[in-house]
């Protein structure tokens, strides 16, 4: 661990190039999550060292793997190309979703996915539990989650019944109930989950890394891994200036990103550039009138304007940018503002301004939006990957990172509750197809449906 940085200043659109926004990689300072607090910088790997396990990539996935391996007693080296949280994990929308969708896609998993579902149910509060256990100050709040709909929805009612039968506190709300929870008459129906909520994902990622380091993990930043090859009975993970010799390697580089050392892995996901916006702090009484419990909000079925309200009284939202227009933050901020004004008339006279705008890249396992479950790959003897966390990395990263760490530490691959995959079985033929479909057709259609009030 090196020095502590000064509080980074928020940087506007001018600070990053159009190409950086389009690729989902404007400097991490653009992310609204990094403006809150100073963070640690980790120095580069400059020696040849040994560890039981080398973990590559310090996003939500790699940080959790490293933390839980270290907690179990393994010696761990966590190697990050830039700094922890610099990928999607420092750039997301902050929702912590406490439930799973489309369970039918788990039917080919071990025990038809039932054991995985059970683990999810038991550990659905993992984000909040980890923050408490390791004293991670990530502005995490179990404030619940609301799925808001313009009219009653049979599929939501069925979902509520299903999860209630598994012990969840989820309420179906009519127009009166919705008005109480969201302070608008716009929604006639919705689900209110009392668990889930919000987190600053950048601070959560960095908090897990700091906790791992506190437990003895060696953490290296500014160290892109260039090669991973056999070295006798071990693997040698090499960067420009150093290497780690390890019995096991776990790759958490988010599938598509920078893992040319296992090209098969890079071909297993559908990358999609998403964008997010944070407002400047809004008067507390205004937020109280919109969302007194500060539940994370999403709109069913379009999800066009997710809302998280953070501990600094800011609102954070996310969407998918128009093709070729990912750098135009004001466009997406204005979409969000129009939604607020239309849905919550009490905001019309409030001066709500944009504080930050940024983009990031999600890695999905399927071109079907809702079939997007994470993947765990066996790449070679002792080399694994956890990737494709899709749009629910805030919970899947910590959860599956812990699960994989337990399986690897115990050396019991048979205990994995997900299928062990090979990249060959998941090779994506046209990786850009998903992005094309979503940005050209699905989002414009969703915006039209929303505009016409059809959903
Ligand atoms: C705009 C947006 C909104 C989102 N909203 C939500 C949300 O509200 N809730 C939610 O749960 N999820 C959300 N997501 C998804 C979530 O952010 C991701 O699923 C999650 O962050 C993925 O974590 P990861 O660790 O797999 O990948 P990443 O966070 O991308 O981490 C991968 C890391 O690997 C490093 N790396 C890459 N190559 C190398 C190399 N060669 N050597 C060393 N290191 C390397 C990268 O620098 C990076 O730090 C959103 C994503 C975006 C972009």
Q: What is the pLDDT of residues 28-40, one digit of tens each?
A: 999 999 987 767 8
- Domains, the chain, in order of start with CATH, read 13-93+201-268+369-434 (3.50.50.60), 95-109+125-199+272-364+437-451 (3.30.9.10)
| 258 CB near ligand 1 (under 6 Å) | yes
Q: What is the pLDDT of residue 2?
A: 36
- pLDDT tens for each residue of 348-389: 999 999 999 999 999 988 887 777 899 999 999 999 999 999
Q: What is the pLDDT of residue 4?
A: 35
Distance 306 CA to ligand 1 centre (A): 18
Among candidate residues 112, 19, 92, the one with its CA nearest the CA of residue 362? 92
Among candidate residues 201, 367, 357, the one with its CA nearest the CA of residue 271? 367
- Lowest-pLDDT range, 55-69, 306-320, 422-436? 422-436
Q: What is the pLDDT of residue 418?
A: 97
Q: What is the pLDDT of residue 14?
A: 54
Share of the chain above pLDDT 70, in %: 96
| 16 CB near ligand 1 (under 6 Å) | no
Question: Predicted confidence band at 7 (pLDDT cuts at 50, 70, 90)?
Answer: very low
Instruction: Tell me which of 58, 202, 391, 404 to substitute to probe ligand 1's pocket, judged by most ligand atoms within 8 Å of the beta carbon.
Output: 391
Q: What is the mean pLDDT of residues 119-129?
A: 97
pLDDT at 449 over 90: no
| 10 CB near ligand 1 (under 6 Å) | no
Three-state secondary structure string covering the chain? CCCECCCCCCCCHHHCCHHHHHCCCCCHHHCHHHHCCCCECCCCCCCEEEEEEEEECCCHHHHHHHHHHHHHCCCEEEECCCCCCCCHHHCCCCEECCCCCCHHHHCCCHHHHHHHHHHHHHCCCHHHHHHHHCCCCCCCECCCEEEEECCCCHHHHHHHHHHHCCCCCEEEEEHHHHHHHHCCCCCCEEEEECCCEECCHHHHHHHHHHHHHHCCCEEECCCCCCEEEEECCEEEEECCCCEEEEEEEEECCCCCCCCCCCHHHHCCCEEEEEEEEEECCCCHHHHHHHCCCCCEEEECCCCCCCEEECCCCCEEEEECCCCCCCCCHHHHHHHHHHHHHHHCHHHCCCCCCEEEEEEEEEEECCCCHHHCCCEEEEEECCEEEEECCCCCHHHHHHHHHHHHHHHHHHCCHHHCCCCEECHHHHCCCCHHHHHHHHHHHHHHHHHHHHHCCCC
pLDDT at 105 over 70: yes
Q: What is the mean pLDDT of residues 120-145?
A: 98
Q: What's the mean pLDDT when you consider all of the chain? A: 93
Instruction: Tell me which of 86, 362, 384, 404 to substitute to probe ligand 1's pocket, judged by most ligand atoms within 8 Å of the beta carbon.
Output: 362
């Amino acid at each position: 661990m090196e020095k502590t940085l000064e509080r980074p200043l928020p940087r506007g659109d001018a600070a990053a190039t159009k190409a950086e926004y389009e690729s989902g990689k404007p400097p991490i300072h653009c992310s609204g999550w990094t403006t809150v607090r100073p963070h640690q910088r980790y120095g580069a790997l400059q020696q040849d060292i040994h560890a039981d396990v080398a973990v590559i990539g310090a996003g939500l996935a790699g940080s959790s793997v490293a933390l839980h391996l270290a907690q179990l007693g393994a010696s761990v080296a966590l190697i990050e190309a830039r700094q922890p949280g610099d990928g999607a994990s420092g750039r997301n929308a902050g929702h912590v979703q406490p439930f799973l969708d489309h369970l039918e896609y788990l039917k080919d998993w071990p025990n038809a996915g039932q054991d995985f579902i059970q683990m999810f149910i038991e550990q659905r509060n993992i984000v909040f539990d980890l923050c408490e256990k390791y004293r991670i100050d990530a502005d995490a709040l179990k404030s619940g989650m609301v799925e808001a709909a313009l009219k009653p929805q049979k599929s939501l009612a069925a979902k509520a019944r299903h999860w209630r039968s598994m012990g969840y506190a989820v309420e179906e709300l009519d127009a009166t109930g919705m008005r109480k929870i969201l302070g608008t008459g716009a929604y006639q129906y919705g689900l209110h989950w009392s668990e889930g909520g919000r987190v600053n994902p950048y601070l959560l990622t960095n908090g897990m890394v700091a906790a791992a380091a506190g437990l003895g993990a060696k953490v290296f930043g500014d160290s892109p891994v260039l090669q991973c090859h056999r070295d006798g009975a071990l693997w040698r993970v090499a960067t420009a200036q150093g290497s780690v010799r390890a019995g096991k390697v776990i790759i958490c580089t988010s599938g598509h990103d920078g893992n040319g050392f296992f090209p098969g892995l890079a071909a297993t996901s559908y990358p999609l550039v998403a964008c997010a916006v944070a407002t400047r702090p809004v008067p507390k009484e205004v937020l109280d009138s919109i969302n007194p419990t500060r539940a994370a909000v999403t709109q069913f079925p379009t999800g066009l304007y997710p809302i998280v309200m953070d501990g600094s009284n800011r609102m954070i939202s996310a969407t998918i940018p128009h093709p070729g227009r990912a750098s135009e933050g004001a466009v997406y901020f204005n979409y969000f503002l129009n939604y607020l004004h239309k849905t919550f008339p009490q905001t019309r006279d409030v001066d709500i301004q944009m504080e930050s705008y940024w983009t990031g890249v999600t890695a999905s396992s399927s071109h079907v939006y809702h079939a997007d479950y994470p993947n765990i790959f066996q790449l070679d003897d002792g080399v694994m990957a956890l990737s494709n966390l899709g749009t629910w990395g805030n919970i899947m990263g910590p959860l599956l990172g812990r699960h994989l760490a337990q399986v690897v530490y115990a050396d019991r691959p048979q205990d994995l509750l997900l299928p062990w995959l090979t990249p060959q079985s998941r090779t994506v033929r046209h990786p850009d197809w998903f992005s094309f479909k979503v940005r050209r057709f699905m989002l414009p259609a969703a915006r039209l449906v929303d505009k016409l009030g059809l959903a």
